[in-house]
Amino acid sequence: MSRSQAIIRLLILVFVLGFLCAVLLSPTTAAPLEPSATTLHVSFIDVGQGDSALLQTSDGVNVLIDGGPGAAGPTVVAYLQNHGVDALDVVVMSHGHEDHIGGLVDLFQSAIPVLAVVYNGQPCYTSACLDVWAEMQARGLTPTPAVAGQTYAWGPISAAVANPQPTPVGNQNEDSVVLRVGYGQEYFLFTGDIGTSTEDTLLARGVPLAAEVLKVAHHGSRYSSSAAFLAAVDPDFAVIAVGAGNPYGHPTQETLGRLRAAGACIFRTDRDGTLTVFTDGQTLSWKITCVAFLPLVER
């Protein structure tokens, strides 16, 4: 047998072993859970370089966390309409940057009722933020500031506010609303655009952070998702909301390396598009296959 044939056989063996390990050790369920009366659907909407996530229970509770940039507004509204959202119980604005709230202008101009708005309590100065505020005022909506220690109950969904702190930093990113969302025994951590300084604050305060699904902070910036923070969260899955070919280099190799070292299966909206996970409160199931059996492997 020639040397080249031996190499080919070795590569085939490695591939087969890897596939078997993925099947046996992947934390996803074998088949997607069917929507039922006890199911939460969480969709990380592909809005390019920005954030938007829809939490939807099959008994009619709908929560939107961020609305993406202004250009993605029609995409977000269409997604809500196509998925039967006839009203939003609450809209959470993690912070006032355009890539997180710009698309809400289209939402507030749409026919979809919005019952409440939660935000980070920071003053609004930018044109994008002022536009969103004007549309909220036109609807008669007054946003409620979130503060660490508060809890919300949206139907069967629980949400604990980990940030902003009672004394805000005065920086939109670091004062992002951080929510630990619970449904049964499964948890999701939404981190806005916080950096390592806020991560350190949360760790020092002993805030519960453990979650099966982590929405990675700041689109995978190198200045977020520290090793210590990831150890506290201990996520099975990490979702990076990011635009293809963005000028910031997100997600950075440093952050991807830390996520892999933490053992998280990495999903990215720039590669995977809109991502949806179902949970019955005991198990998780994604609409696309996730292979994560070694720290070196990324989806």
Section 58-83 average pLDDT:
97
pLDDT of residue 130: 97
Question: Cα–Cα distance between 40 and 28 in angstroms, integer?
Answer: 16
pLDDT of residue 287: 84
Q: Where are the beta strands (DSSP E) in 114-263?
A: 117-119, 144-145, 151-154, 157-163, 178-183, 186-190, 213-215, 237-240
Tens-digit pLDDT profile for residues 233-252: 999 999 999 999 999 999 99
Contact assessment for residue 212 and residue 197, using Cβ atoms and an 8 Å cutoff: no
pLDDT of residue 2: 55
The SS3 of residue 78 is helix
In the chain, what percentage of residues exceed pLDDT 90? 82
pTM, two decimal places: 0.87
Instruction: Place 7 in a pLDDT band, splitting at 50, 70 and 90.
Output: very low
Q: What is the mean pLDDT of the chain?
A: 88
Domain range list for the chain: 3-286
Section 258-267 average pLDDT:
97
Q: Where are the beta strands (DSSP E) in 34-148?
A: 40-44, 53-57, 62-65, 90-92, 117-119, 144-145
Instruction: Place 290 in a pLDDT band, splitting at 50, 70 and 90.
Output: low
Question: Does the pLDDT at position 32 exceed 50?
Answer: no
Question: Cα–Cα distance between 271 and 262 in angstroms, integer?
Answer: 21
What CATH fold (topology level) applies to the domain 3-286? Metallo-beta-lactamase; Chain A (3.60.15)
Question: Does the pLDDT at position 4 exceed 60?
Answer: no
